[in-house]
Amino acid sequence: MYKRQLLARRPSFSHDVRPDLLGTPIVEPLTRRFIDSGEESTHVRTQSPLDGEERVYAFQRVGDLPLVVVVGEEIAVLLAGWYHRLWILGVVVLLIAALGGLALRHYLNRLSLEAELRRRVIEARHAEQELRIAATAFETHLGMLITDAEATILRVNDTFTRITGYREDEVVGRNPSMLSSGRHDVSFYDKLWKSVREQGNWQGEIWNRRKNGEVFPEWLTISAVSNDEGEVTHYVATLSDISERKAAEQEIHQLAFFDPLTGLPNRRLLMDRLEVAMKDSYRSGQFAALLFIDLDHFKQINDTLGHYLGDQLLQALALRLNGVLRDTDTLSRLGGDEFALLLHDLGTEQEHAAHISERVSGKLLGMLASPVTFDHQSITVTTSMGITLFRDHGTSLDEVLQQADMALFQAKQAGRNTLRFFDPDMQAQIQVRARLETGLRQALSRDEFRLFYQVQVNAAGETLGVEGLLRWEHPEHGIVSPAEFIPLAEENGLIVGIGAWVLETACRQLSAWASDPAMAALVISVNVSPRQFREADFVERVLCILDATGAPAERLKLEVTESLFMEERDDARAKMLRLRERGVRFALDDFGTGYSSLSYLKQLPMDELKIDQSFVRTLFEDDAGAAIVASTIALSKSLSLVAVAEGVETEAQRDWLLAHGCRTFQGYLFGRPVPVESLPFPD
């Protein structure tokens, strides 16, 4: 237990302090608190209770002894050395600051120098890069040429050399006019330099000349280079060779406007020039002419000699035609063996224009008729031509084309190897034909067709059957002759649908007769057009109609013509055999009027040969025709076919036919074509 008494003090107490304090109890609270705390050591800052001086005291226990040592030092004494050190430190800091300022200034100067150096390096590198870019751009795929303000060449690049053939040392110091091709006049170059002066540049297509003398097209760009004062110091030109592009454009133009086989203008170019010619004729008052030229029977040449030789023939004839025409005339190939010729400036008198056109056409006809020889083989062709003159403002382009086509049609109708001028009467006929075609396209849907029947009889006059003959009951024109609308239906393809209607109508009639014993044995003959027969599904259509109507197939007879077997003979025979298996019969109509051939006739499943009415009507006027009829009857017997004579109108004709062995007849002598209800059936 501490007694908390002051045992000693060093230094000794001064005269201002009581010396008898040794042994007195310690009342100072900080000391007492340390003694009571049990801590080994501590230090505090406080005023001395003995002399009132502010000191820093350190308290420390002395081992295991019950003693506490308190050491104190005045604040002033403690801080005396610190002030000294602070002064020294301040001096040092000032020195360091001064040195640091010098160092910083030096450092900043160095940084500034380094930054300036880096800037200059970057600028140098940038300038070098720009120089490399400029050098690369200069050696581009475009030819480049630089001149001074007086247009004296200073430099060219390698591409310029490749394009023109001139090396740099061959052009430096010279004027670019050395490349001039001579194709452009002075005004062209005046406009070029005017654009450069006023706008600072010019670009366009120009023809120049290479070192080897070859003239070529190029795309040229010229730009003026000015200084800060706006004065022109240099000219820079870029050029590219566009020969390939021009060649491609020419090829495209050739393909678009010219026939690839003959090199002549095609239909498209002809239409353009015809339109221009019509406008010129309107303005000048002079007639022009359009000729349509068609080679007669050219298809036979292709079929017999081959298409290669046919193409050679077309090329040779095109050269002949083109060789005798004026430069202002246009000869065109429309396609196949069809050509067109456009003649200009034929004068203001129609008769004179017609005379010139006829003279030119006659010359062409004679020239084309001359034999053409290929590989020691001589080929002769004839030509039909149709001509129309035009000048009238009221005539359209389509009308001119139509008139030339109609004139060509007339030339063919006249026996070919001739020429015909357009006839206004023919125009009226064509218009009637056009109206007829319009009505024909609607006739089937409007139920305007009728099937008439003409009887066929035997030698005793008994009715064996009938032939179904189509009639068109027009709402305005009444009954239209088959001779008018059947060829039209053949041309536009309507015959397929019309033929199906005829076949179905006949089969329904057969089905109706099948239940009547008096008429069940009658046969109905129906004409089938070649176009209808060649349809891929013709057999299936016939069989479907038979099934749908319930008609007896053995009572149906299909009449076909010889033209059917001129092409795809095997296909026709196969179709006939399929229908024959079902019981359908066949008759060869108009025998003797086409390209008859016994070789194909004996191979076909025929039942009848029908002698054309043109031979029957002239039995007593034409010995050759009578001989043909007699031969046909004999041929039918040898082939076990029934010979049917059409167009029998007199008893004398019937008697002659009977005498020569014909036993089946059809004609006005026995009955005209009538509706089914007017047929003279037996009781």
pLDDT at position 546 is 96
Give the type of residue at 200. Answer: G
Q: b/e string for 203-218 if b means 16 or more Cβ within 10 A? A: eeebebbeeeeeebbb
Residue 669 has pLDDT above 90, yes or no: yes
The answer to the question of residue 268 being in a domain is yes
388-422 pLDDT tens trace? 999 877 788 888 998 999 899 888 888 888 888 88
Residues 508 and 394 in one domain: no
91-113 pLDDT tens trace? 767 777 777 677 677 777 777 77
pLDDT at position 435 is 82
249-270 pLDDT tens trace? 777 877 788 888 888 999 999 9
pLDDT at position 341 is 92
Residues 284 and 223 in one domain: no
Higher pLDDT, 5 or 658: 658
Residue 633 has pLDDT above 90, yes or no: yes
pLDDT at position 260 is 87
The answer to the question of residue 460 being in a domain is no
Residues 128 and 171 in one domain: no
Q: Taking the CB of residue 514, how many other CB atoms lie within 10 A of it?
A: 16
336-350 pLDDT tens trace? 889 999 998 888 888
| Secondary structure of residue 389 in the 3-state scheme | strand
CA 566 to chain centre: 38
Map tokens 């059917």 to a residue: 564
CA 453 – CA 456 distance, rounded (Å): 10
Q: What percent of the chain has pLDDT over 70?
A: 88
CA 574 – CA 580 distance, rounded (Å): 10
The answer to the question of residue 491 being in a domain is no
Distances (CA, A) of 34 to 13, 14, 59, 212, 227: 23, 26, 8, 120, 96
CA 448 to chain centre: 43
Give the type of residue at 148. Answer: D
What is the extent of the structural domain holding 175?
143-247
pLDDT at position 477 is 81
Distances (CA, A) of 461 to 437, 654, 659: 40, 11, 15
The answer to the question of residue 651 being in a domain is yes
Q: b/e string for 633-659 if b means 16 or more Cβ within 10 A? A: bebbeeeebbbbbbbbeeeebbebbee
Higher pLDDT, 301 or 641: 641
Edge-to-edge strand ranges of the sheet holding 153-156? 153-156, 143-148, 232-241, 215-226, 201-209
pLDDT at position 281 is 87
Higher pLDDT, 605 or 491: 605
pLDDT at position 342 is 93
Lowest mean pLDDT among 134-138, 611-615, 672-676: 134-138
Q: What is the 3-state secondary structure (H, E, C) of 507-572?
A: HHHHHHHCCCCCCCCCEEEEECCHHHHCCCCHHHHHHHHHHHHCCCHHHEEEEEEHHHHCCCHHHH
Most confident of 67-81, 130-144, 283-297, 539-553: 539-553
Which pTM does this prediction carry?
Answer: 0.48
Residue 226 has pLDDT above 50, yes or no: yes
What's the structural domain count of the chain? 4
Average pLDDT over residues 273-294: 90
Lowest mean pLDDT among 26-35, 198-207, 385-394: 26-35
* Domain closes at, from 82, 106, 134: 134
* Domain closes at, from 363, 389, 422: 422
* Domain closes at, from 391, 422, 453: 422
Q: How confident is the model at residue 324 (pLDDT cuts 50, 70, 90)?
A: confident
Residues 221 and 277 in one domain: no
Q: What are phi and psi of 144, to 5 degrees?
A: -130, 145
CA 444 to chain centre: 38
pLDDT at position 643 is 94
Residues 289 and 387 in one domain: yes
Map tokens 């397929």 to a residue: 496
Answer whether 629's CB lies under 8 Å from 646's CB.
Answer: no
Residue 424's Cβ-side half-sphere holds a number of Cα atoms within 13 Å equal to: 2
Whether the bond into 49 is cis, omega within 30 of 0 = no
For residue 275, give the CATH number of its domain: 3.30.70.270
Answer whether 275's CB lies under 8 Å from 344's CB.
Answer: no
The answer to the question of residue 182 being in a domain is yes
The answer to the question of residue 193 being in a domain is yes
Higher pLDDT, 77 or 632: 632
Residues 204 and 89 in one domain: no
Torsion of CA 160, 164, 169, 175, to 10 degrees: -90
Higher pLDDT, 420 or 7: 420
Measuring CA to CA, which residue among 142, 117, 3, 141 is closest to residue 68?
A: 3
Lowest mean pLDDT among 49-53, 242-246, 473-477, 524-528: 49-53
The answer to the question of residue 680 being in a domain is no
The answer to the question of residue 577 being in a domain is yes
Q: How confident is the model at residue 481 (pLDDT cuts 50, 70, 90)?
A: confident
Residue 274's Cβ-side half-sphere holds a number of Cα atoms within 13 Å equal to: 27
143-200 pLDDT tens trace? 888 999 998 999 998 889 999 999 999 999 999 999 998 899 999 999 999 999 999 9
Most confident of 76-80, 356-360, 552-556: 552-556
pLDDT at position 18 is 59
Residue 657 has pLDDT above 90, yes or no: yes
Q: Say how many Å lie between the first and final Cα of the chain, rounded.
A: 172
Give the type of residue at 71. Answer: V
For residue 161, give the CATH number of its domain: 3.30.450.20
Average pLDDT over residues 366-394: 83
Q: What is the 3-state secondary structure (H, E, C) of 440-475?
A: HHHHCCCCCEEEEEEEEEECCCCEEEEEEEEEEEEC
618: tokens are 């002239």
Residues 559 and 595 in one domain: yes
Average pLDDT over residues 451-477: 93
Residues 516 and 634 in one domain: yes
pLDDT at position 623 is 87
Residues 236 and 277 in one domain: no
pLDDT at position 327 is 80
Residues 91 and 182 in one domain: no
Residue 135 has pLDDT above 60, yes or no: no
Residues 124 and 170 in one domain: no
What's the chain's average pLDDT?
84
Contacts of 27 (CB under 8 A, 6+ apart): 49
CA 3 to chain centre: 125
Q: How confident is the model at residue 507 (pLDDT cuts 50, 70, 90)?
A: very high
Residues 268 and 220 in one domain: no
pLDDT at position 683 is 44
